[in-house]
Amino acid sequence: MAIERTFSIVKPDATRRNLTGAINALIEKSGLRIVAQKRIHMTKAQAETFYGVHKARPFFGSLVAFMTSGPVVVQVLEGENAVAKYREVMGATNPANAAPGTIRKEFAESIEANSAHGSDSLENAAIEIAFFFSGLEIVG
Ligand code: ATP
Ligand code: MG
């Protein structure tokens, strides 16, 4: 297995409920390292670009409104098999289907307000990391 980097977002439902530290604890317990992190308030344009793949979905407008409804914490996570491992740590998109102990099972409010984002492939991870971070901000 290779050391990879993946991109993570602590979503607005989680920052609003002061859960950044609790989510970071689950990340670190899994062995992944947080090698970059910053708190931002996404603009509408950033959210529309970031979730552009879902533009045609009926929930797109609501998703963009949610992602810009409050601060988020964007992160770069590093470790063995980081992309797949973080998807496991997050759990299923719909918290009703997420396994016990996962971020979404423990913390998500709904299928939309589901507390965390994680890249779905190594290729998308590189694109998403470059969208939010400069190389200087990532300290492995
Ligand atoms: P993410 O991309 O945020 O890591 P994911 O890869 O598990 O989540 P996607 O299918 O990429 O899920 O959906 C992106 C996001 O859109 C979800 O995390 C959720 O916030 C929202 N979403 C997905 N499906 C729905 C839905 N049916 N209704 C409302 N919001 C949804
Ligand atoms: Mg996704």
Whose alpha carbon is nearest atom 22 of ligand 1?
112
With a 6 A CB cut-off, is 103 part of the ligand 1 pocket? no
What ranges make up the beta strands (E) of the chain?
3-10, 33-40, 72-80, 116-118
Q: Which of 50, 97, 105, 114 to mutate for ligand 1's pocket (most ligand atoms within 8 Å of CB)?
A: 114
* 98 vs 26: CA distance, rounded Å: 15
Mean pLDDT of 45-67: 98
Distance 54 CA to ligand 2 centre (A): 9
Question: Is residue 25 scored above 80 in pLDDT?
Answer: yes
- Model confidence at 84, pLDDT cuts 50, 70, 90, reads very high
The answer to pTM > 0.95 is yes
Catalytic residues: 117
Question: Is residue 1 scored above 90 in pLDDT?
Answer: no
Q: Percentage of residues in the chain with pLDDT exceeding 70?
A: 100
